[in-house]
Chains A and B, each alone.
Chain A
Amino acid sequence: MNAPVKDLGTEPVEMSYSEAIKDALDIALRTDERVILMGEDIGVYGGAFQVTGDLVHTYGEDRVMDTPISELGAAGVAVGAALTGLRPIFEFQFSDFATLAMEQIVNQAAKVRYMLGGDVSVPLVMRFPAGSGTGAAAQHSQSLEAWLAHVPGLKVIQPTTPHDAKGMLLAALEDPDPVMIFEHKLLYKTKGMVPQGHYTVPIGKAHVARPGTDVTIVATSIMVHKSLAAAEELAAVGISAEVIDLRTIRPIDRETVFTSVEKTSRLVCVYEAVKTLGIGAEISAMVAESHAFDFLDAPILRLGGTDNPMPYNPELEKASVPQVEDIVSNVINLVKGKI
């Protein structure tokens, strides 16, 4: 089989995050025969979040496969398919179900290259609709990305815009090793300008979403949008916040974070996952261990989810994750020297 054929990008068009992913899937299926899609109800139903749409009608059930309700078994098949030279893209209905497939993800996909002396690789892409805000309660609203980011051998990405969702998915397909994509469910409807045709956004490179001078906010996923909204409010009170969209949480783009901290001297990490032992802890420690430590003029602050299962009650659900006003008030306190 041949390597993917790249189209030249043309004029960007506006599309939603889910449309951008579907566009990437379509390009991948069209240009690379090795690509197959796997997942529960991704065929005729079009996926739990309607991301795969009608791709099954274009590419057939051999390439857009509905899998049985057995994440463990299906993920195992996906790992095996990748080992045989295919490029499977596996969709979990909810990221929470990753727990059912941990053996295949953690012990097989992440380890096989190492166990076999580098003679084989697992070019597998897994997509995880994640996060809260949909009233889907404790077993369908988690943010488990840090779990997988803890495993050597896996790459973990969290695109936040339609542009990056498409470009990073296509970059993931070019990666010879397993790449886990966490897509926040509330982002599927968000819109943005997306180039047509094939392009990639590199994995492992953070994006300075808004430059600033007083404080660095390193955010992931939907918290990037909340942080940008917060930065707007902060600007109104004279605080210039630099917002970094981390995009990849393994491997982390250390240099972009360090450079920003050197500039602003204050660091706030904002993420939806439970605060304890989360990505914010990693970023904080990373800065504290580096030369950037010498540039800190205030303690590092983590704003993460509260330590509880995600409540069903919408008000409690909202209270369980950082909101724009939380970011604003905490940043003001930090910059004013009250923390």
Chain B
Amino acid sequence: MPIEVILPKVDMDMSSGTIASWYKSEGEMVEEGEALFDIETDKATMEVESPGTGTLHFVSAKEGDIVPIGQSVAWLFAEGEEVVEPAGSGVSTADTVQAAAVESDTTEEPIVVGSPVFLSGTRATPLARRVAKKLNIDLQSVGGSGPRGRIVRSDVEKAAKSGTASPPPQTITVGGKTGAQKTADELGLAYTKVPVDRMRSIIAARLTESKSTVPHFYLNADLQIDKLLEMRVQINLALQNTDAKKISVNDLLVKACAAALKTVPEANASWDGDSIIKFDDAHISVAVSIDGGLITPVVRNAQKKDIQTISSEIADLAARAKTGKLGSKEYQGGSFSISNLGMFGVKSFNAIINPPESMILAVGQGAAQFVPDNEGNPKLATVMSVTLSCDHRVVDGALGAVWLKKFKELIENPTSLMLN
């Protein structure tokens, strides 16, 4: 019996993956455990090992193909085994269906593009398909917990409950172009059409979901950061003759966020449909800009870590994020996010919550300005504007304000950040 090579589930929320590159080619001998191909998930690239030893045949997914988890991508034949194409090999994904639909530009008849509930490439039980249809859920957006990624009823119901599933694609007109493209064509405007890659589509989906389903409200505050900057100078001076990397303002902000969450634990929580999940520790997601998008690696248990540890962890996570080498657990499961655009000269901004977290802190540039001193005289200070975005289902206005007040105290009197 030939061994089927399937696209494995390597990431918790993964329903499909992109074949980034093949290490082996058709007809090549592969040992069990050898690297076979790279799979690109939402935010990272993973190496997939060969499930057995044999010669690689019937590779049905080429580099760049998006394949649902559990689908066959190739077969391995043992030595001496007759190489006959096994039943069920061959790729059939939403993408191929959609591509075919877009290419056939000759008819204007409306058709349903790849009603995914019936896609042959998705492994799902008949009941799962039935329930998905009833709940209007796209099986492609559901992860399967069964053998080889098979989707069963409970997977569909879980996805529906958690709101992670998306509805099936709607009816569109073949050859139908998007609004922007259509207008540009009509007006004869020059443009370049750039296909959306996986990360961009995930960012689009997640943030659309966040902005349209999470009730945001925003709290602003101006922080005087002179003492913080002074402390940073002192720390870095102390580190001058050591191997340790200098700490940044951002590292101190992460530490302050964690410390504030420790003091206001009610705010360290997530909305979970019929309950609120309160985290015991502060897991701070740090937005890192990478090629083509952004990713939010998590500093775990940040309230328990000293500034140097936080600093070196962020440096490591950011470096690996830029080369796509983060494991899925390293960018999932945060309880709070921080996004800093101060280095771009941005004064202040409102960030979109990173679900399922319920708060994100948007940090602007620290700039010199006059503020009144105790006697009412102008005093030059470095002022940084921050905006806290809150999910009102979990964090009420007063709670958000209490957290922000604590954060402000910590930043303006930063000595306590040195204590764990």
- The interface of chain A, by Cβ under 8 A from chain B, is 265, 293-298, 337-339
The reply to whether the CB of B215 lies closer than 8 angstroms to some CB of chain A is: no
The reply to whether the CB of B147 lies closer than 8 angstroms to some CB of chain A is: yes
Q: Which of B129, B130, B145 interacts with A337 by CB under 8 Å?
A: B145
- Given A265-B153, A298-B152, A293 and B126 contact (CB-CB distance below 8 Å): yes
In angstroms, Cα B129 to Cα A297, docked, is: 9
- The interface of chain B, by Cβ under 8 A from chain A, is 125-130, 145-147, 150, 152-153
Q: How far is the CB of B148 from chain A (nearest CB, A)?
A: 11
In angstroms, Cα B145 to Cα A295, docked, is: 18
The residue in chain B whose Cβ has the minimal distance to the Cβ of A337 is: B146
Q: Are B152 and A337 in contact (CB under 8 A)?
A: yes
The residue in chain A whose Cβ has the minimal distance to the Cβ of B155 is: A337
Chain A interface SS verdict (over half): loop
Interface centre among B125, B128, B146, B150 (most CB of A within 10 A): B125
B-side contacts of A297, CB under 8 Å: 125-128, 152-153
Residue contacts A-B, CB under 8 angstroms, 16 given: A265-B153, A294-B126, A294-B127, A294-B129, A295-B126, A295-B127, A295-B130, A296-B126, A296-B127, A297-B125, A297-B127, A297-B152, A297-B153, A298-B146, A298-B152, A337-B146
Q: How far is the CB of B193 from chain A (nearest CB, A)?
A: 41
Q: How far is the CB of B369 from chain A (nearest CB, A)?
A: 61
Q: Are A338 and B128 in contact (CB under 8 A)?
A: no
Q: Are B147 and A265 in contact (CB under 8 A)?
A: no
B-side contacts of A298, CB under 8 Å: 125, 146, 152
In angstroms, Cα B127 to Cα A265, docked, is: 7
The residue in chain B whose Cβ has the minimal distance to the Cβ of A265 is: B127
Q: Which 9 A-B pairs have the closest CB atoms?
A: A297-B127, A297-B125, A337-B146, A297-B153, A294-B130, A296-B126, A294-B126, A265-B127, A297-B152
Interface centre among A294, A296, A297 (most CB of B within 10 A): A297
- Given A265-B153, A337-B152, A296 and B147 contact (CB-CB distance below 8 Å): no
In angstroms, Cα B358 to Cα A89, docked, is: 78
A-side contacts of B152, CB under 8 Å: 297-298, 337
A-side contacts of B126, CB under 8 Å: 293-297
Q: How far is the CB of B130 from chain A (nearest CB, A)?
A: 5
In angstroms, Cα B153 to Cα A276, docked, is: 30
In angstroms, Cα B130 to Cα A294, docked, is: 6
In angstroms, Cα B124 to Cα A297, docked, is: 8
Q: Are B127 and A338 in contact (CB under 8 A)?
A: no
In angstroms, Cα B144 to Cα A337, docked, is: 10
In angstroms, Cα B148 to Cα A338, docked, is: 10
B-side contacts of A294, CB under 8 Å: 126-127, 129-130
Q: How far is the CB of A17 from chain B (nearest CB, A)?
A: 38
Q: Which of B129, B130, B147 interacts with A338 by CB under 8 Å?
A: B147
The residue in chain B whose Cβ has the minimal distance to the Cβ of A292 is: B126
The residue in chain A whose Cβ has the minimal distance to the Cβ of B145 is: A337
B-side contacts of A296, CB under 8 Å: 125-127
In angstroms, Cα B134 to Cα A295, docked, is: 13
Q: How far is the CB of A184 from chain B (nearest CB, A)?
A: 34
The residue in chain A whose Cβ has the minimal distance to the Cβ of B128 is: A297
In angstroms, Cα B126 to Cα A293, docked, is: 7
A-side contacts of B130, CB under 8 Å: 294-295
Q: Are A337 and B147 in contact (CB under 8 A)?
A: yes
In angstroms, Cα B144 to Cα A297, docked, is: 12
In angstroms, Cα B5 to Cα A175, docked, is: 56
B-side contacts of A337, CB under 8 Å: 145-147, 150, 152
B-side contacts of A339, CB under 8 Å: 147
In angstroms, Cα B147 to Cα A296, docked, is: 15
Q: How far is the CB of A292 from chain B (nearest CB, A)?
A: 9
Q: How far is the CB of B155 from chain A (nearest CB, A)?
A: 9
A-side contacts of B150, CB under 8 Å: 337
